[in-house]
Amino acid sequence: MAATESALLDALKGVTDPNTGKDFVSTKQLKNLKVEGGDVSFDVELGYPAKSQIPALRKALIAAARSVGGVENVSANITSKIIAHAVQRGVQLLPNVKNIVAVASGKGGVGKSTTAVNWRWRWRPKAPRWASSMPTSTAPASR
């Protein structure tokens, strides 16, 4: 019995992308599915660099395809295709740069603590008149 394309798609839906948590079929990353008797071939195109993950993904996809009855040979090609995003109007592209990712830790610099200190310094309540006659030191008075 030869495998059908729909049976293969159902089996391949069980393999999820470890980075996105979604399957390759519903995200339309699975392309060029060909079934010729017991031979099956397909391509998976990732939208991010994942060179170290490709062997494990290929192994999982081949195992899923072989679980369908009638499949003898499986050829799975996995590639990465990174698409450059559009830039703002009037901004020139940087040569040989596809994407820039900004990373911020939320630490350091002028932050909440500095702002709070400045706010307290500027807006502190005025001391009552009797406070000016009070000693400023908290040390016990000398005898």
Please provide the DSSP assignment of 26-83 as one string.
Answer: TTT-EEEEEEETTEEEEEEEESS--TTTHHHHHHHHHHHHHTSTT--EEEEEEEE-PP
The pLDDT of residue 37 is 84
The pLDDT of residue 137 is 57
The pLDDT of residue 60 is 92
> Nearest-CA neighbor of 84 among 76, 75, 92, 93?
93
The pLDDT of residue 103 is 79
Per-residue pLDDT of the chain (143 residues), as tens digits, is 567 888 888 988 998 888 888 988 898 889 999 988 889 999 999 888 888 889 999 999 999 999 888 888 899 999 988 877 676 777 777 788 777 777 777 666 555 555 555 555 555 556 655 555 555 555 565 55
The pLDDT of residue 91 is 77
Domains and CATH numbers, the chain: 5-80 (3.30.300.130)
> At which residue do the structure tokens 């908290």 appear?
138
The pLDDT of residue 123 is 53
Q: What angle do CA 7, 44, 99 make, to 5 degrees?
A: 150
The pLDDT of residue 126 is 61
Bridge partners (DSSP) listed for residue 80:
46
